[in-house]
């Protein structure tokens, strides 16, 4: 049975960056991994970054509507960690709709937690299908507002 993990519970202010700087897909992924590595839940950030990049080569996690959900399961992750990044200008992330990506939810999960990993991805996907929520996440003034938006939308 998959653990029932709420994205609002997983996401912490310290894993939110509202001004991502990098300009390419690969560098943004590394920037996001460095953000979530602060959690102490990642034993080897380079290995996790490589897993995420390998996952992207299978197909972009840019799902459209300005959103990407880079994710990976790895033996180098000891517990679930979720980060959120925002890029003001947006970058080419190879999104399905061809538009620039502004919002990034990065998920790193333990290798053996497939069910919970998929459930968290489904919850994020459901959240960002709402264009109103996406616009509010793009316009949020601070990290607390991001947490509030996600919490109220996922309860």
**Catalytic positions, please?**
71
Q: Can you count the helices (H) and strands (E) in the chain?
A: 6, 6
* Torsion angle of the four alpha carbons 46, 121, 21, 92, in this order, in degrees rounded to the nearest 10: 100
Is-contact 62 96, C-beta < 8 A?
Answer: yes
Residue whose tokens read 């034993």: 43
Cα distance between residue 49 and residue 29, in whole Å: 7
Phi then psi for residue 62, to 5 deg, are -75, 105
Cα distance between residue 53 and residue 108, in whole Å: 12
């Amino acid at each position: 049975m998959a653990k029932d993990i709420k994205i609002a519970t997983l996401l912490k202010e310290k894993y939110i960056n509202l001004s991502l700087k990098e300009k390419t897909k690969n560098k943004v992924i590394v920037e996001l991994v460095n953000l979530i590595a602060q959690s102490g839940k990642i034993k080897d950030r380079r290995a996790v970054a490589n897993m995420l990049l390998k996952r992207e080569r299978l197909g972009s996690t840019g799902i459209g509507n300005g959103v990407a959900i880079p994710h990976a399961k790895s033996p180098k992750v000891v517990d679930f960690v979720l980060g959120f990044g925002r890029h003001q200008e947006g970058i080419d992330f190879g999104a399905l709709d061809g538009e620039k990506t502004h919002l990034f939810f990065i998920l790193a999960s333990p290798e053996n937690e497939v069910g919970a990993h998929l459930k968290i991805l489904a919850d994020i996907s459901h959240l960002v299908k709402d264009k109103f929520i996406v616009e509010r996440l793009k316009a949020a003034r601070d990290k607390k507002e991001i947490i509030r938006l996600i919490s109220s939308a996922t309860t």
